Structure formats: structure tokens, C-alpha cells
Amino acid sequence: MVCANTWIRGNVPDNFIAYKPPSFPQCSSLEGRSSRAMRRIIKGLILVFLGVFVGVVAYEAIMFIRIGRLRTENPSTSSMIEARASEAQSQGQQPKREQQWVNIDRISPNLQRAVLAGEDTNFLTHHGFDYEALQKAWDDALRDAAREAKKEGENEDWLPTLPDFKRGASTISQQLAKNLYLSSRRSFFRKGQEAILTIFLERTLTKRRILELYLNVIEWGDGIYGAEAAAQHYFHKPASALSANEAAFLSAIIPNPRTLFNPQLHPRRVSRRQRIILRGMPYVRTP
């Protein structure tokens, strides 16, 4: 575009009167409008990012308050329970829910040790936990179980290859965060939120309270939630009366009690993992 200050007037005849060059926008005016448009764009982006930031901070503040209430309050439901109810309703079925909240003092120490041995070997590391001894016991038991599986003609890996099923890939605190507040869908946002909630749980609650919450909300079968319901369902006794063998059985099915570690579908797989957990239990201390 040609600007007024760059217009070159050519030679015109003397009798050419009142010649007026065409009007063009001033360069300074164009630059000003462009600068103002850029400032508006930058301002808009800043406002968007600021709004997102404030929203995230507000959400995390609410979650921190909710987790803080868990010090004295028991959750009435969980994301996992609600997800299972939605699945059942979408299939035209009545949602199942067997759950009875019990204090950790009414949950057998055998079950507490079995869950720690099977799901989170580092849960109590800073409380005198013999990690090396448990690691050796676990590895020895895995080798024995693999030999037994081969002898019985199971050529494929008897234990599912997904990392979560090898042993506690997610800590008890991470699992609790997922069960209470998050969906099962895998995404970068969900993993980030899981990490934040896990930090909140660890900073706000004691290890004993985290374990108590975990043992009362995790899934132990179709519609079976918590240690008391699991003990009654599988052994017809309260959670406080579970033996070491029974506790190891319940711990063995935690990774996926409805399919991969369903004791009715895969009894030998569950039995092998049960024996592995039994070997590690003597090395675990409860909170």
C-alpha cells in the first residue's frame, strides 16, 4: 500500500489546475491499528490463561479441603463405586453394593500386612520396614510360582504382564486417590491430578488413616467394597477374625477381582499370588 508521505508528484502542465493526489492512509495510522490489535490479542490470551489458572487453583483448593475432612469423616461413596453403578445401570441392571465401614482396629492385622505386602512394599519404609528381606522373599516366591505354572502346563506368563499386576506399581495412596476421586480413563491430566491428590493425602492424613480408608473403599468383587464386606462374602466372618491365609487370599485378588484375579475364573493364579504374599507378610509392620 502506498502512503501519503511517499506519494511523488510528477510534472504536470502549467494549465493543469487543482490537481489533487488520491488520499492514502498514513503509515503511522496503520502501524497504530496493528499495534492495538496485537495488544488486544495478547491481553485476551493473558486473561484466558489467568482464568484457567484461577480455576485450577480453586479446584485444587476445594479438593484439599475435601481431603482434609477425611481426617474425621468417612466418605459416603467413591468414584469407583459410582462408576460401577453407572455401568450396571447402562446394562439395565440394578447396581450392587455390599459395604460396611469398620475402624482399622476391627480389621485383622493379618489383612493389613497382606495388603501392604502385595500392594505397596514402601508404604512404611520410614517406620522400620525391612524392604530388602521382603524383596528377596517376593522374588523367590515369584520364581517358585513360575516353575509351578510351567510344570502344570501353563506356557504363558501365569501372572498378567501389565505392570500393575506384578506388585504395587501404584502406591496405596495413589490407588486411594484414584478410587475416591478419579475416573478410570487414562490421560495426562488424570495422572497429573492423581499425583496432586496423592500429595494432599500424604501431607494431610496419617499412614494409619490412609490405610483405613483404603481398606474400606477398595473393590473386592462385583459390588463388594471394603474389608468387612469381603470377609463376610468370601469367608462368612468379620474382618477382625481373618487368618493369615485368608488375608493373603483377599490381598491376592485386589489388582482385578472381577476378571484377571477373579478366584472363580482363575483359582490357580490367585493361589500362586496368595502364596507369594504369605512369604512377604512376616516382614511387614502395620501403621
Tens-digit pLDDT profile for residues 240-261: 999 999 999 999 999 999 999 9
183: number of Cβ within 10 Å: 13
Which pTM value belongs to this model? 0.73
Report pLDDT for 7: 44
Task: Calculate the CA 165 to chain-centre distance.
Answer: 15
Record the cell numbers describing residue 11, joined without a space.
510534472
Reduced to 3 DSSP states, what percent helix, strand and coil does the chain have, rounded to the nearest 5?
Answer: 60, 0, 35
How far, in Å, CA of 1 to CA of 29, rounded? Answer: 13
List the one residue out of 286, 238, 243 whose CA is nearest residue 101. Answer: 238
Record the cell numbers describing residue 10, joined without a space.
510528477
pLDDT at 221 over 80: yes
How far, in Å, CA of 283 to CA of 139, rounded? Answer: 14
User: Is 56 in a helix, a strand, or coil?
Assistant: helix
pLDDT at 32 over 60: yes
Residues 17-33, mean pLDDT to the nearest whole number = 58
Angle at 102 between CA 101 and CA 103, to 5 degrees: 135
- 252, 142 Cβ separation under 8 angstroms: no
User: Is 101 in a helix, a strand, or coil?
Assistant: coil
Report pLDDT for 251: 96
Report pLDDT for 120: 85
Element (H, E) at 84: helix 79-90
